[in-house]
Amino acid sequence: MIKVNYIYHSCFAVETDSALLVYDYWKDSHNGRLQNAIESNSEKQLYFIVSHFHQDHFNPEIAGFAQARRLVSYDTSKRRRIKAPIATAILRPGDVYEDENLKLNALRSTDVGIATLVTLPDGTTIYHAGDNNNWYFATDEDEHIRCSLDEMEGMFISNLREVRSITKSVDHVMFPVDPRLGSETMRGSCQWLQQIKTGHFYPMHCWGRWDEIRNGIAQLEELFPETAFVCPDASEIDEEPLFPDEPKTESGSGADSAQPNTASE
Ligand SMILES: [Zn+2]
């Protein structure tokens, strides 16, 4: 059995029998859920998995945890200077990391860095998308110079094929549901769910704007009744809604080129 704890934005702490997997740690929740998870799983191997270097997916504090294994994407290693031996492994799409607690496939993202598919010794599978999504900014098409909407969608569908080449079903999926996409907020999630049989689906990367994605999640619940959609409890939502600038052209898809508007904090 595993337990998936939502922490903040795209950060989750996943408890397995022998490990605690901390994904994309940016900030702890106001009530210290990450700290609690680390303390209450202190007998297990701690991992930090970093999908890419963007500031909302990375916290330099991860270097300070003695005993932790740090599995970081190549861009994080370069841009945030997390080299060996601090980095246990530096991962590019296509790489495989394996130890006694897990096997990790590093997969492609439509943005920078990687997505990850973890397989536990009992066969349980866990996918964390990082910033892999169909960043279909329909109303801002003019903003995109590196890639058209068609190219974006093609890249995303191709990435789904890559997942399907490894497995056609995943037990636990953490996936961006970003309200900045407006009417297309659920587009990538829907395409994922059509292609990959999903046990539990955990929305993330919604900038604390949970109210804006609830209707979309309810629609997915009707379309995909075999999937359990898991949003944080009201007591777990202690994020101030952020309204980061609309994406700019610099990083292509622009998924994270915007900086969060910290003035709202
Ligand atoms: Zn992000």
The pLDDT tens digits of the residues spanning 218-241 come to 999 999 999 999 999 877 777 888
Can you tell me the mean pLDDT for 197-218? Answer: 96
Confidence of residue 69 (pLDDT cuts 50, 70, 90): very high
Total domains in the chain come to 1
pLDDT surpassing 60 at residue 40: yes
Percent of the chain scoring above 70 in pLDDT: 90
62 domain residue, yes or no: yes
pLDDT at 263: 27
Determine the residue type at 145.
I
Average pLDDT, rounded, for the chain: 91
Residues 111, 52 contacting (CB under 8 angstroms): yes
Percent of the chain's residues with pLDDT above 90: 82
| pLDDT-derived band at 247, boundaries 50, 70, 90 | low
* Residues whose CB is less than 8 angstroms from the CB of residue 91 and which lie 6 or more positions away in sequence, other chains included: 71, 72, 73, 74, 97, 104, 106, 114, 116
| 255: in domain | no
User: 58 CA to middle of ligand 1, Å?
Assistant: 9
Radius of gyration in angstroms for the set of CA atoms belonging to the chain, rounded to a whole number: 17
Rounded to the nearest whole angstrom, what is the distance from the C-alpha of residue 216 to the centroid of ligand 1? 20
Burial string for 191-201 (b: 16+ CB within 10 Å, else e) reads bbbeebebebb
The answer to whether residue 262 sits within a structural domain is no
Tell me how far the alpha carbon of residue 245 lies from the centroid of ligand 1, in angstroms.
13
CA of 143 to the centre of ligand 1 (A): 18
Q: How confident is the model at residue 184 (pLDDT cuts 50, 70, 90)?
A: very high
pLDDT grade for 242, boundaries at 50, 70 and 90: confident
The answer to whether residue 258 is domain-embedded is: no
Domain presence at residue 244: no
Q: Does residue 261 form part of some domain? A: no
Ligand 1: centre distance to CA 200 (Å): 21
Sign of CA dihedral 155, 55, 170, 194: negative
Q: Which of 98-107, 116-125, 181-190, 243-252 has the lowest mean pLDDT?
A: 243-252
In a domain? residue 243: no
Q: How far does residue 255's CA lie from ligand 1's centre (Å)? A: 6
131-161 tens-digit pLDDT? 999 999 987 655 555 689 999 999 999 999 9
pLDDT at 258: 41
Show the domain range for 13: 3-236
Ligand 1 centroid–CA 43 distance in Å is 31
CATH of the domain at 166: 3.60.15.10
Flag whether 242 is in a domain. no
C-alpha 112 to ligand 1 mean position (Å):
10
pLDDT for 143? 57
